[in-house]
Amino acid sequence: MKKGIFSLGILLALSTNAYGETTVQYCDSAKEYITTLEFLRHGAKGAGKAAEANNRKIAEEVSQNCDGAARRFIKVVLLYQKLNVGMVNAVPVAKQASGVEDERVDMYVSVLRDLYLKSGLDLSLQEAINVAEKYLEPSKVSAKKMKEEFEELTDFCRKDRGLAQTKYACAKLVHEILASMDTEEDEVADAFIDNYKYLRSSKLFFTSYEALKLSRELIGHGPRAIESFHRALKYAMDEKGLNMPKPEALKFATRMAKNSKVESERILKSDTSSSFWSFW
């Protein structure tokens, strides 16, 4: 009986994803193990027979990530070898990549390339690797959508000289903005860029630094925070609205923007309270 309970616990632990949703997959783990081990034995530089025990351990870890895990692992190792990165640094990232979907690994490879190449942000190899690895983390947003937003933000950051950002700071900024995405429908790139340009307009007289700082703060509350900020600021400065001076209007609009992202539990409590009083 104890054995059965223990086995069930392992199954549930292995089939619970990053969002707490339980799923079941049936995989040819032996195929993934053998493919990974044979690659490490014969196809990976610096991972020969002398490292056999470690190779077997790595192969077993990769085999736990279901069908396609070996292919994803090998893809990242080969990429790192092409970049002259040693196995010690390549293997941890490749193991992580083996556990995510193919599309996210493809996006990771593409992002790393864009960060590193001169036609992209032209970061140093280590800087590019440090930033790109974040794109392997689990996300509710599809890899395709994430890549589209990444390209738009990177292009803007690279071309707008007024931002006065180093290339590495630009890459970190892009990831920070993308991290604010909660759903597939979020258009964070457009929202951030539009707000930055709006704040830099002659009417508001924001410096590049001020516009960038506030835009980063607002987008952290979701793309609709930008829309709410614009609406609140316009109303606050309108003579028929709140008729506030610019400093006070900005504070008010920022507060309204922060209220644009509300946790579902809070909404539920609010709705319940409203229903209760309307009933009575």
State pLDDT tens for residues 164-182: 678 888 998 999 999 888 8
**In the chain, where the domains are located:** 22-99, 101-181, 187-263
Query: According to the model, what pLDDT value does residue 181 have?
Result: 87
Q: Tokens standing for 124?
A: 């140093």
| Below-70 pLDDT ranges, the chain | 1-22, 46-50, 161, 164, 262-280
- List CB contacts of 62: < 8 A, sequence separation 6 or more: 32, 33, 36, 69, 70, 73, 95, 98
Query: According to the model, what pLDDT value does residue 157 have?
Result: 86
Q: Could you report the per-residue pLDDT of 116-151, keeping only the tens digit for each?
A: 988 788 899 999 999 999 899 888 899 999 999 999
Query: According to the model, what pLDDT value does residue 148 have?
Result: 93
Query: According to the model, what pLDDT value does residue 160 have?
Result: 78
Q: How far apart are CA 171 and CA 160, in angstroms?
A: 14
Query: According to the model, what pLDDT value does residue 36 have?
Result: 96
Q: Could you report the per-residue pLDDT of 19-43, keeping only the tens digit for each?
A: 556 677 788 999 999 999 999 998 7
Q: Tokens standing for 94?
A: 């490749």
- Phi and psi (nearest 5°) for 19? -105, 10
- Phi and psi (nearest 5°) for 261? -115, 110
Rg, Å, the chain Cα set: 24
